[in-house]
Structure 1
């Protein structure tokens, strides 16, 4: 695998972690929103990652045969979709709330702020690791250019 492909692979991971951070931010922002029915209540969202295979990378302008890789090689990650959590919502009896239904209940999202913060830290660390990988690859390329001039 050439150093150029490292940028494509790490770049795909950076994009995926950006989506992950955005969904975490959306979940945290909506953690205390209320609704008068379960159908209108915000539900926590999670991105689903999928390994990009050689064919998907070829569609993006990269050829696996240039590096002698097999067709089944994993060459990056992308977000296959964003799914809503099926965890139960939190109905609370708050009859004085303007959002209460006829029975006096309001519905809170199924967002767990502690889980979201842990997910945010994990995504942030993954993002940082991929930036470091790209910086290392850049440094190696610069050293190769220096060696080529000698």
Structure 2
């Protein structure tokens, strides 16, 4: 495996985790939203990753990178909150709220943050190896 290929994999991982973090932040920002621009409650979003094969150099181990395939909305039902004074409440006094689970989102944020940091560590290590190689 060449250093360039390894850096490509680490960079793709950082980019994918960055998009995942942005999506989680958006979910957390809208955890208490009862309506969006469409008039419906905000629906949690999740990033979908896919493996991308890289060319293997000189018959070595095939490498795979990662990329974001898309962002999908959660199909979880919108919870109801009893607020009879709210103008968005139904006849029974319940308001549909966002289906974002803040605990799940925080765990997802920690996971994405650590994965991003792991990719940064790998890239820094590869850079250090390249510099040491050039000094030989």
Q: TM-score, normalised by structure 2?
A: 0.90
* Residue number in structure 2 paired with 1:57: none
Structure 1: gaps (5+ residues): 55-63
Say which of 117, 120, 138 aligns to 2:109. Answer: 120
CA contact 1:35–1:106 (8 Å) conserved in 2 = no
Superposed CA offset, 1:86-145 (max 9, x none):
111101221101222344221111111111111101100000010000000000001111
Q: TM-score, normalised by structure 1?
A: 0.82
3-state secondary structure, aligned to 2:9: helix
CA contact 1:17–1:126 (8 Å) conserved in 2 = yes
* Residue number in structure 2 paired with 1:61: none
Residue 85 of structure 2 is aligned to residue 96 of structure 1: yes
Q: How does 1:1-150 map to 2 (within 5 A)?
A: 1-35=1-35, 40-54=40-54, 64-69=55-60, 73-147=62-136
In structure 1, what is the Cα distance between the partners aligned to 2:105 and 2:91? 32
In structure 2, what is the Cα distance between the partners aligned to 1:106 and 1:74? 49
In structure 2, what is the Cα distance between the partners aligned to 1:10 and 1:74? 12
CA contact 2:56–2:63 (8 Å) conserved in 1 = no
Quote the offset at 1:74 in angstroms.
4.0
Q: How many residue pairs end up in the alignment?
A: 134
Quote the offset at 1:65 in angstroms.
4.8
CA contact 1:2–1:67 (8 Å) conserved in 2 = no
3-state secondary structure, aligned to 1:87: coil
In structure 2, what is the Cα distance between the partners aligned to 1:50 and 1:31? 27
Higher helix share: 1
3-state secondary structure, aligned to 1:40: coil
User: 1:49/1:97 Cα in 2 relative to 1: closer, same or farther (>3 Å)?
Assistant: same
In structure 1, what is the Cα distance between the partners aligned to 2:101 and 2:58? 44
